[in-house]
Amino acid sequence: MPRYEITIEKDACDGIFACLTRDPRFVEAPDGLATIDPDADPVYDCDGEVSDDGERVVAAFDDDRLEEARRAAAACPTDAIIVEEVDE
C-alpha cells in the first residue's frame, strides 16, 4: 500500500468543509477550520500520524484510502489540501 501525506494549509482553509463529505477523517477543529482525526471514521479503524504546528496540519497514512483523500482535496474550493505519495 502507498504511504501518503495529507497537508491542510490553515491560512488557505476557509472552513467550507467540502472535504468532510468526501473523507470522514476530515473533521472540524475547535478553531473552525478543517483538521484530520484518524479516529473519526466510524467504519474503518485508521492508524495515522497527525501533527499540527499552527500553520498546517500534516497527517501520514499507509492504508488503501489514498483516493478518498484525493477526492477530499479536489473538493476543497480554496486548494488548502495537498495529498502526496511519499517514500518510506
- Number of structural domains the chain divides into: 1
User: Which residue range(s) make up the domain with 41?
Assistant: 3-86
- Across the range 47-73, mean pLDDT stands at 93
CATH number at residue 39: 3.30.70.20
Spatial strand order in the sheet of 49-52: 49-52, 56-61, 3-9, 81-86
> Is the CA virtual torsion 79, 41, 30, 15 positive or negative?
positive
**pLDDT one-digit tens code per residue, 31-56:** 999 999 988 887 777 778 999 999 99
**pLDDT one-digit tens code per residue, 16-29:** 999 999 999 999 99
pLDDT at 74 exceeding the cut of 80: yes
Q: What is the pLDDT of residue 61?
A: 93
Cα 5 from Cα 16, distance rounded (Å): 21
* Whole-number average pLDDT of the chain: 92
The pLDDT > 90 percentage for the chain reads 78
* Phi, psi angle pair for 25, to nearest 5°: -75, -20
